[in-house]
């Protein structure tokens, strides 16, 4: 059952989603009236609740995908269609040591932390770093911050630490961080970089040199389908390009 302090997702009849945290004496307001948070407490997932103007909503617990799409943000987030492939390409597992730079709003950090990673993160902007840590705390809880060390630093200038298992980047010039890889990555470590432009992906691969194997760049396309009775067809709109994912394995210079 839902309790105060927990996040809830409301789904209306038009499948619009509303995400908020349940608070004592809190109220959820829309043009269709309002719902007192107390009406949701002690309800189960899948139950319905009615607003003061008669609108019905289904109560659900938000998934990580729901939270990433609707969470507060300072920077543009990496969307779910790329988050899962990045974690697969980087082979994120419990206890793996990750160096991450370009934290943005923390969507990628949250995903890797949920996989069990231990993250050292560099972010240039303090407001972005604070937003990333707040979002991690909001969805994963305070304990997740024990595995999330964030510094206001420029990864282009160098990285402290060594024997990282993974390097995951979301930066305008990832090749400047690749230059430090031989000092901080263990042999066999994996690197994944997210770049909006193919020219960025090209320069990233070029920076890797002879000490790298299995270099590849790909993009993920997301197309949903309309299925209603005998009407089955691709939806008219799809999420095509968002960014290029470049990965490689470091074996030493």
Q: DSSP per residue over the chain, as a string?
A: ---TT-EEEEE-TT--EEEEE--TT-EEEETTEEEEGGGTTTPPTT-EEE-TTS-EEEEEPPPHHHHHHHS--SSPPPPHHHHHHHHHHTT--TT-EEEEE--TTSHHHHHHHHTT-EEEEEES-HHHHHHHHHHHHHHH-GGGGGGEEEEE--GGG------EEEEEE--S-THHHHTTHHHHEEEEEEEEEEESSHHHHHHHHHHHGGGEEEEEEE---B--EEEETTEEEE-S--B--S-EEEEEEE---
Task: Classify 184 as helix, strand or coil.
Answer: helix
Tell me the average pLDDT across 212-226. 95
Query: Residue 183's closest CA among 163, 203, 168, 213?
Result: 163
Tell me the average pLDDT across 78-106. 96
Half-sphere exposure for 55 (CA within 13 Å, toward CB): 19
- pLDDT at 210 exceeding the cut of 90: no
Indicate the domain borders of the chain: 7-62, 66-250
Tally of residues, the chain: 253
Task: State residue 85's pLDDT score.
Answer: 96
**Would you place residue 209 in the very low, low, confident or very high pLDDT band (cuts 50, 70, 90)?**
confident
**Would you place residue 70 in the very low, low, confident or very high pLDDT band (cuts 50, 70, 90)?**
confident
Residue whose tokens read 């040591």: 97
Task: State residue 253's pLDDT score.
Answer: 67
User: Percent of the chain having pLDDT more than 90?
Assistant: 89
CATH 3.10.330.20 fits 7-62, yes or no: yes
Torsion of Cα atoms, 137 then 142 then 148 then 150, to 10°:
60
Tell me the average pLDDT across 68-94. 90
Which fold is adopted by the domain 66-250?
A: Rossmann fold (3.40.50)
Tell me the average pLDDT across 40-61. 94
The two domains 7-62 and 66-250 share their CATH topology (first three levels equal): no
**Would you place residue 19 in the very low, low, confident or very high pLDDT band (cuts 50, 70, 90)?**
very high
């Amino acid at each position: 059952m839902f309790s105060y302090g927990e996040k809830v997702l409301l789904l209306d009849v038009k499948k619009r989603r509303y995400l908020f945290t349940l608070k004592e004496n809190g109220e959820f307001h829309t043009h269709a009236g309002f719902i007192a948070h107390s009406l949701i407490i002690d309800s189960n997932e899948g139950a319905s609740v009615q607003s003061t103007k008669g609108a019905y909503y289904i109560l659900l617990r938000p998934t990580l995908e729901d939270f990433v799409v609707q969470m507060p943000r300072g920077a543009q987030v990496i969307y779910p269609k790329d988050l899962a492939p990045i974690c697969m390409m980087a082979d994120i597992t419990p206890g793996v040591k990750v160096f991450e730079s370009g934290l943005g709003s923390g969507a990628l950090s949250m995903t890797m932390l949920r996989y069990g990673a231990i993250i050292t993160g560099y972010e240039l902007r303090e407001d972005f770093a604070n937003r990333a840590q707040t979002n991690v705390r909001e969805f994963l809880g305070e304990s997740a911050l024990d595995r999330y060390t964030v510094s206001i630093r420029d990864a282009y200038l160098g990285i402290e630490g060594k024997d990282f298992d993974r390097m995951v980047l979301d930066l305008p010039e990832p090749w400047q961080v690749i230059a430090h890889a031989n000092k901080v990555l263990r042999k066999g470590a994996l690197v994944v970089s997210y770049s909006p432009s193919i020219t960025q992906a090209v320069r990233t691969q070029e920076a890797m040199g002879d000490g790298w194997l299995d270099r590849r760049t790909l993009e993920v396309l997301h197309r949903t389908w309309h299925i209603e009775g005998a009407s089955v067809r691709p939806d008219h709109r799809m999420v095509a390009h968002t960014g290029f994912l470049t990965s490689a394995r470091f074996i030493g210079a």
